[in-house]
Amino acid sequence: MIISLFGYHQSGKTCLFEILSQRKIEGHQLTSGQRHEIPRAVCQVPDPRLDLLSSLYPERKKVQVHLEIEDFPGLASGDIPTSQYLAQLRKAEALVHVVRGFRDPTIIHPRGKINPVDDIRCLTEELILSDLVMVNGRLEKLEKDLRKIKDPEAQKEKELLEKLRPLLEQGSPIREYHLTASEEKMLRGFCFLSLKPILHVINLDEQDLASLPNPELLLPGLAPEIPVLAFCGRIEKELLELEEEERQIFMGSYGLSETTPGRFFRKLYEIMELINFYTIGKDEVRAWAVKKNTPAVKAAGEIHTDIEKGFIRAEVIPLVELVKHGSWQKAREAGLLRLEGKDYQVQDGDVIYFRFAQ
């Protein structure tokens, strides 16, 4: 799963990238113009429940969910980004728009003023516009083809795109249109940007640190359903340099109870509608991320296609129940393991053992 960090020039994208990946980026890599490739890093998703489970099996390796993040170059102004930029952005599973909130007058904002709500509005419009361009192009082609030859599939696609077009023209993202499963499938190849989950992350000024838990107060006029999160890049970057003990003291002095990665990934899970399930293997205790409502057989496929193909049954217990009983064996003896079939919808926090035929 690839998550792309993008936004206007010098908003703090690389800073967030470093904080999430716990990796320092060398100075020369910071200059957008010189980059040929978009830097990518694997992030480990903090998971207190996995820590608990892992404490029952201290000799086994703990494996957190890994997500890949990409650090896009900054956008220079409100112009539509190049098609190459957009094509790369379309590969992402979710978008993270890093928004300038800090005021520092020595760092010039490409739009000339610090106005996070306006930045969110403008970039949202850009994404919608880029989808509209695609829809118009495709409709033109479909209309031409359908004049030559009747094709029921192409006709259906045309009808769906004709429903989406006015929505985009009014400035609404495709996300707001309730797509059926077959419609979603029909659109998959387009990788529409306004259909992707998007999180706006505001890089706050140190003076605004008190607004960290409720950034919406600093964003008057922003629709309440737009997901936002705040972080203070400058402080968090300093935290990266510290040892654990010093870090706790430093955080305490700013009244911070948690660093950004925990809050970021929780919010990202929410907007991407992800949940975690867990497995206890011979050598490792591991967390896996799947979309909500994933059937057990598909969750098995996340681990290995052989387990999906040979799926027999899933033995399931909520992680908290398992931890209460101390081990898988004891939970089994207490009759707490449920046997579930292929269609069982995996729940957040399930610990699962998949029985399968090889």
Ligand X SMILES: Nc1nc2c(ncn2[C@@H]2O[C@H](COP(=O)(O)OP(=O)(O)OP(=O)(O)O)[C@@H](O)[C@H]2O)c(=O)[nH]1
Which of the residues 79 through 138 are near ligand X (CB under 6 A)?
98, 102, 104, 107
Per rule CB under 5 A, is residue 14 in the interface with Mg ion? Answer: yes
Is residue 342 part of the contact set for ligand X (CB under 6 A)? no
User: Is there a contact between 162 and 230 (Cβ–Cβ < 8 Å)?
Assistant: no
Q: Is 295 in the site for ligand X (CB under 6 A)?
A: no
**Is the separation of the CB atoms in 118 and 200 below 8 Å?**
no
Residues in 149-208 at the binding interface with ligand X, rule: CB under 6 A: 203
CB of 122 to Mg ion, least distance (A): 19
**CA 348/CA 307 separation, integer angstroms:** 20
Q: Output the CA angle 8-11-22, nearest 5 degrees.
A: 125
**Total length of the chain:** 358
Q: Torsions phi, psi of 77, nearest 5? A: -155, -165
Alpha-helix residue ranges (DSSP H) falling in the chain: 13-21, 48-56, 83-89, 116-148, 152-169, 181-187, 233-240, 244-253, 260-272, 296-303, 305-309, 319-325, 328-333
Work out how close the CB of 43 gets to Mg ion at its nearest, in angstroms, rounded to a whole number: 16
Task: Give yes or no for residue 97 binding Mg ion (CB under 5 A).
Answer: no
Which DSSP helix (H) or strand (E) runs through 32?
none
Which CA distances in Å does 352 have to 82, 287, 323, 333? 45, 10, 14, 16
How big is the site for Mg ion, counted in residues (CB under 5 A)? Answer: 2
**Is residue 10 involved in binding Mg ion (CB under 5 A)?**
no
Q: Which of residues 211-240 bind ligand X (CB under 6 A)?
A: 232-234
194 binds, among Mg ion, ligand X, none (CB under 5 to 8 A by kind): none
Nearer to ligand X, 30 or 222 (CB): 30
Q: Which of 13, 22, 72 is nearest to 45 (CA)?
A: 22
Least CB distance from residue 1 to ligand X, whole Å? 22
Other beta carbons within 10 angstroms of residue 9's beta carbon come to 17
Residue nearest to Mg ion (CB): 14
Of 117, 176, 186, which is closest to residue 154 (Cα–Cα)?
A: 186
Q: What amino acid is encoded at 344 in this protein?
A: Y
For tokens 């220079």, the residue is 76
> Cβ closer to Mg ion: 13 or 196?
13
Which residue's CB is nearer to Mg ion, number 41 or number 186? 41
Nearer to Mg ion among residue 199 and residue 280 (C-beta)? 199
Binding Mg ion (rule: CB under 5 A), the pick from 4, 6, 12, 13 is 13
Cβ proximity to ligand X: between 34 and 170 the closer is: 34
Pick the closer one to Mg ion by CB: 32 or 347.
32
CB-CB contact of 315 with 353 (8 Å): yes
How many residues lie near ligand X (CB under 6 A)? 19
Which x/- pattern, by CB under 6 A, does the window 7-46 give for ligand X? Answer: --xxxxxxx--------------x-x--------------
Helices 233-240/244-253 angle, 10° precision: 160
Given the complex with Mg ion, which of 199 and 346 has the nearer CB atom? Answer: 199
For ligand X, the binding residues (CB under 6 A) are 9-15, 30, 32, 73-74, 98, 102, 104, 107, 203, 232-234
For Mg ion, the binding residues (CB under 5 A) are 13-14
